[in-house]
Structure 1
Amino acid sequence: MVADLIIAPSPGLIPATLFMPTPKAAKRVLEFFTAQINNDHTRKAYLNATRRFAAWCEDHGLDELAAVQPIHVAAFVKELQGQFTPPTVKQHLAALRMLFDWLVTGHVMDANPAHAVRGPKYVVKKGKTPVLTADEARALLDAIPIDTLIGLRDRALIGVMVYTFARVNAVIGMKVKDYFTQGRRGWVRLHEKGGNEHAVPCHHSLEQILDDYLAAAGIAGEPDEPLFRTTGRKTGAAHPLWQQDVYRMIQRRAAAAGIATKIGNHTFRATGITAYLKNKGTLEHAQTIANHASPRTTKLYDRRSDEISLDEVEKIAI
């Protein structure tokens, strides 16, 4: 069966016939979208990008992979700029560069036609993620009823995102054993992108929140089971929460707390980082806690300038 997939790759993983003129090329493309790309969202985006380019080539009479030149990739990118935002165009170009590189190293092509093509200039100095003030975040946590297990679970889940700057997928991927004690302090172990593990000590408030949840849930003796799980009312068994579940929960909790800001799962990452930096935390340590590869990424979550701008606007005394 594996051999069949190599000779005749799954249609769901092949961008278009342009990229598989020979069994060798088809095998190489299949390897790219399976062995080289681990993230499902990235795989889908890159597939869409390469399919769009293949369709463009077909429309312009290019039906052979060897005939693709830098001028063709540049023309495709230029056309995209009239249809999509700069980040989307840059993602398309990145997908083509990576795929062509993979084909070159696999001796399917002689050169990468996308290598010298420049994408649109796009510099982000400030993130667009909605952020809460420290008071709003505290009010949200305090507004969640803790007389039910679901309330304790929701408060604990939001608490982990706020106090560890964690991505939602890293939090819902936690097992019970990923909350542990070390040096008389609670720690959380987060499973980040690429299979990387990242351990963060708990703020004393988070430690109490997690302890309350675990005590009520009675799951401390299930180390390999999901930490944040469904109630099991519909299926009869508990399952890990999905990202969509968390998003809907956050909307309900925010509405109940009277928070007008349109927030999402990523809000708490920006909220925690901003609150930390406002309290004289350093960008370097914020980067470490958030597990960012670059301080420039961490800086995108620093929203302290929002308050400065608001204070200045209020000086317009008309």
Structure 2
Amino acid sequence: MSATSLQLSAGMRDALQLWLQGLHALDGASEHTITAYGHDVGQFLGFLAGHHGGSAGLRQLADVTQSDMRAWMAWERAAGLGSRSLARKLSSIKSFARWLADREAFDISAILATRAPRFSRKLPRPLSTDAARDVLEIAALQTREDWTGLRDTAVLTLLYGCGLRVSEALGLWGRDAPLREALRIHGKGGKERVVPVLPVAQQAVAAYLAACPHPNAPDAPLFRGTRGGALSRRHIAKVMEQARMQLGLPATATPHALRHSFATHLLGAGGDLRAIQELLGHASLQSTQVYTAVDAGRLMEIYHASHPRAHG
């Protein structure tokens, strides 16, 4: 049991656990998200307990004042928390407070009235078409064994050619091979989407499997490490790190940047924003707009070309 949980009353611990279970069961939140939410809210409740003395109980949340919220934010700032992280924590706290207030019927207006600090949203930086192609080519030349080079190229090709997240590419199983013309992907929050697979991606995976010394088994990871276990995210990050150093690319050239590039290049070629949203598995179109890093002029062109009312 953590030090924070020791500062909570039994009722508050039970309520927090019940809320987290609901997020997992009803909203399909990932284990990583659940852990982050629990940590954020637990720290806040621990702060309240220390701030007022005693343990944080259910009714204590109803007595939170704007002064308490300002003190909490100052405490987090003093600990070195940035604006983006503080805004995320506040969002977690408000979500839990709303849920608890509905159950216990008390007022949490002081919490809900607290405004998140402003922060500048960093736009993702996609690679140019040539740079993305160079990354795929050089990845095959960075390893001592041919099959590991083919493997790394295959993973990166899925990121750039299909817009997969690293976790989604590494989450494929042996039974997914040989890749068909479309992949059924289970993304964030358990959301399912169907992603077309380009012939170049099919060929890259087939070349890797043909050279891989570990037999492909239906219930084994598709992408294997040197010893046969599942390939790690850290390895793919290292592959990109080496590629960008050799090619002179900026630090923003990460594995995830290939996914950004997939979306941006599709949009630049005339792709429909809604269709790209579905391919990426984004819950909102706003996320896709930010993700593709397109300028406002280009978005307006798409809007006028596709929106029915733009022609009325």
Q: TM-score range by the shorter chain?
A: 0.7 to 0.9
How many Å separate the matches in 2 of 1:132 and 1:41?
Answer: 28
1:213 aligns with 2:212: no
How many Å separate the matches in 1 of 2:241 and 2:216?
Answer: 31
How many Å separate the matches in 2 of 1:221 and 1:51?
Answer: 43
SS at match of 1:60: helix
Counterpart selection for 1:91 from 79, 88, 91? 88
- 1:221 CA drift (Å): 5.3
Counterpart selection for 2:12 from 25, 45, 50? 25
How many Å separate the matches in 2 of 1:144 and 1:86?
Answer: 36
SS at match of 1:297: helix
- 1:214 CA drift (Å): 2.3
Count of aligned pairs between the two proteins: 282
Partner residue, 2:306 = none
Q: Tell me if the contact between 2:83 and 2:117 (Cα under 8 Å) persists in the aligned partners.
A: yes
How many Å separate the matches in 2 of 1:97 and 1:304?
Answer: 32
Change (3 A) 1:220 1:186: farther
- 1:218 CA drift (Å): 7.0
How many Å separate the matches in 2 of 1:59 and 1:221?
Answer: 55
Q: Tell me if the contact between 2:221 and 2:230 (Cα under 8 Å) persists in the aligned partners.
A: yes
Counterpart selection for 1:103 from 85, 100, 104? 100
Change (3 A) 1:179 1:191: farther
Q: How much identity, in percent, do the aligned residues show?
A: 22
The 5 A counterparts of 1:1-318 are 11-12=1-2, 15-18=4-7, 20-21=8-9, 23-37=10-24, 38-63=29-54, 64-65=56-57, 66-67=59-60, 68-76=63-71, 78-79=73-74, 80=76, 84-107=81-104, 110-112=106-108, 114-122=111-119, 124=121, 127=123, 129-145=124-140, 148-179=146-177, 186-217=181-212, 222-232=217-227, 238-256=228-246, 258-262=247-251, 263-305=253-295
More displaced stretch, 42-51 vs 155-164: 42-51
- 1:149 CA drift (Å): 0.7
More displaced stretch, 242-251 vs 81-90: 81-90
How many Å separate the matches in 2 of 1:71 and 1:16?
Answer: 24
- 1:167 CA drift (Å): 1.1
Change (3 A) 1:144 1:165: same
SS at match of 1:226: coil
Q: Tell me if the contact between 2:185 and 2:193 (Cα under 8 Å) persists in the aligned partners.
A: yes
RMSD: 3.0
More displaced stretch, 54-63 vs 133-142: 54-63
Per-residue CA deviation, residues 263-314 of structure 1 (Å, 9 max, x unaligned), is: 22211111111111111112112111111111111111223559x9xxxxxx
Change (3 A) 1:296 1:77: farther
- 1:26 CA drift (Å): 2.3
Letter in 2 for 1:86: S
SS at match of 1:188: strand
How many Å separate the matches in 1 of 2:214 and 2:279?
Answer: 27
Q: Which runs of 5+ in 2 are unaligned?
A: 299-312
- 1:118 CA drift (Å): 2.7
